Amino acid sequence: ILSPIEWARICPDLLERVDGYRQQITELMLYNPRRKVLVGLYNEYVRKPAPPGAAVDMLPHVADLATFPPFDDIIKAPKGTSVGAESFQAAFAQLPSLVQGWRDDIEAQLGALVVTPRESVDADSPTPGYTGPKPSDRLKLASAVFSKEGGVIDMFPDVILPFYSHSLFNARCVHTNEETVESITADALGALPWSLTNPHGVPIVQLFTPAADVVRACGLDPRTATREDMDARNARLICKDCPSSPPLQHCRTWKNAV
C-alpha cells in the first residue's frame, strides 16, 4: 500500500498517462470510424459537379475538411451519438464558405512571409513597402515567390497547389505512430492538415528572397512592384553563369529568371 506521500508523488504522472491512453482509445474507437465515413462522403463529393452556387477553384484535403467546425463537431459528438452519412449533410451545405475561409487563412499566412530583404532595396529610396487592406495583398508583389520542399519554386497561387503531381491536394504526409493523437487522426484521413511547417515544426514553405533581386535588376522597387508591373516592364535578363552559344541562348523573361 502506498503512503500518502508516495501517492502524491506518482499520482499526477499516472493520471496524465491514463488520460492519454483514454484519449487515444477515444480517437481510435470513436472518432476515426466517423472520420472514415467523412472520407467516403468527400471522395464522392469531389467527383461530382458542384451544386449550384457552390463551385470553388480549389478544395482542401479531407484532413483540412475534418478540422472545419461543422465537421469537427460531428466527428467529436459524444459517445452514444449515432453518426452516419446523413449526419454530415448540413456541414457539406456550408462547404463553399468554409473553403473560402480556409483559403483566406492560408493566403494571410503566405502574405505574412513576404518581407523584402533590406539588401534588395536601395538605401536612399524613400518608397514605403506595398500596403493593402489585408496581408494577402502582398501576394500580388512580383517578389512574392516561395520555395517548397524538394527545391520547388512557385508563385501564388501555385504555391498552395500540391507538393506532388500525383496528389489532388496540398497536404502533409505523416508516418503513422499510434502513440500520438495527431498520427491516429492522420491514419484515418491519410494526411495532416495544410501547414507552412512539417510535423516537427520545420518550415516547408519559405519566401524565395532572390526574387527581390530579379525585380530590382529590372529597375523596379521589389517592395511595390507587382507582377503586372513586371510584365509591363517586359525586361530580359541573361544568366552570366550559364554557358551559352550563341550568347543570347539564355536570355530570360523575369519569371524564367526567378
pLDDT at residue 218 is higher than 70? yes
CA distance 12 to 22: 15
> Hey, is 207 helix, strand or coil?
strand
DSSP code for 31? I
- Please tell me the least confidently modeled range out of 61-75, 94-108, 155-169, 233-247: 155-169
Beta bridge partners of 252: 237
Between CA 230 and CA 216 the distance in angstroms is 10
Give the rounded percent of residues in the chain with a pLDDT score beyond 90. 33
Least confident of 61-70, 85-94, 98-107, 160-169: 160-169
* CA–CA distances in Å: residue 114 to residues 43, 120, 223, 229: 35, 13, 9, 17
Q: What are phi and psi of 85, to 5 degrees?
A: -60, -40
With CA atoms as reference, report the closest residue to 141 among 117, 161, 164.
Answer: 117
The lowest-confidence range among 63-67, 112-116, 203-207, 238-242 is 238-242
pLDDT for the residue 235: 82
Q: How high is the pLDDT of residue 167?
A: 42
What confidence score (pLDDT) does residue 55 get? 81
Is residue 177 pLDDT above 60, yes or no? no
What residues contact 129, with CB distance under 8 A and at least 6 apart?
116, 223, 224
Instruction: Choose between 127 and 210: higher pLDDT.
Output: 210
By mean pLDDT, which of 16-30, 95-109, 193-207, 236-250 is the weakest? Answer: 236-250
Three-state DSSP state, 155:
strand
Strand partners, 154: 146
DSSP 250: G
Instruction: Give the model's pLDDT for residue 11.
Output: 82
Task: Write down the pTM of the prediction.
Answer: 0.74
